[in-house]
Structure 1
């Protein structure tokens, strides 16, 4: 018996940085009826997973659960290690990444990504029953709050205008405004406010150095990444999908990312149509903790989709 593997979870508050709060509707969600914490929690986990589990368990509901925030807020493990630990905790039964229907915007539905957390490891049957009950619950009123606060919390995530900015100079006794475009100022404004797609691509190298892209690479791939955002995903989802299951080395990051942007493009989710009588409206999808692919809860085992559970079927 290895004694160190049975020790209590290490102290998880060793960082001086305050852990960030997720956007409204996102982040950590503790499952109900949690037992009180004690020093033996997570004792059977390996050291790295034990530390990350202790840290996550101490976070309040609504805390950011993306890999970058977790790696930045605790000092022992970087983003690759945190990502691996989260996948292991999903397999162990402590968490599930879930996409929940939160509202509609125009002709598209709006989804938010949550991480449900259990201090006690749960089996697949428990998680399926819990998520089925969660899907039947009335939808929380978070969409309006999220829309009202997103601009204040992440101003750089606002999309870049597709057309050049135009100022108007009112003329005395003239009803028509006179357009006065300024190409230089327009270029500077666009350069100072990159699109969410460009930012997500630029941060890939920080999530995993094997996918480091140049500014020119990000600009060339920006439209492909923007299509992902147009289909309702966020930067965290795109990053997980592009960095999951990387080979030991990536010789050409640009070509590799371009291929994954094309091959893993998620389906477009139209606005929910009136359901036929007796047809349940699907409001919840589990995300694979390895590749981020969404699906029905019953299609997952240990938080993994079938391709990630069995990458080389006989």
Structure 2
């Protein structure tokens, strides 16, 4: 019996030591990340007048610093490449829970794809994983079945294999951010990019109910907190999807907060301004950001 208790004690000491050792790797995980925007949100350091939420269209096609300079509203871009509307709802939830509410939110819409399941648009769990040492984040991962409930108590069930690496994450040119969170792209020759004519018609039956629920939830949340929510359609080097716009207008309370780029503007018909059909280089982003600034400033003067 004494020998058994001795083994139990030794095992307990070893297990306790390993658990404490694993804590170091989990605690260090955020330090390896280049994109620290979610961490800033969780730490209550994202108190801005205006925030931009969306996927890569929001990240690439809107200059947050320029918008701040032209409107006088402190601005930050919280758009994540490859993110869907459920992730956008999560960002808004985190922002309001840990920070003073913004005055305005720009929700950038993926024209034609906002409510459809797309392989390129997902919930960015990879942005949550490095921050699982925050109990609020770990609870989200547990709720999504990404972590066991017992991970609340054991680091061994919270840690991931990639946490053991101490090397900083590689930052590719497309992910380099400005001081205000935008990911403005440097221009290069794209004179071979051809204007794309999209097929007519938008199939409502293919819409994901969860995406619609998240979108409606964001509208309700902003209304509850008295936040001005604006819906933004950024420029694209392709035929504008009017069928989706008609559908979209039925899902919002007012068209007054709808910002659609100037579809007849010659600048948006220049393929040298676009990296691909939906993402602009910085020169194009600056032109469109000015459009948004004019819109806001005109509202202020009224």
Q: Give the TM-score normalised by the residue count of structure 2.
A: 0.28
Q: Which structure: greater strand fraction?
A: 1
Q: Which structure: greater helix fraction?
A: 2
- The one of the two structures with greater contact order (alpha-carbon pairs below 8 A, sep at least 6) is 2
Q: Give the TM-score normalised by the residue count of structure 1.
A: 0.27
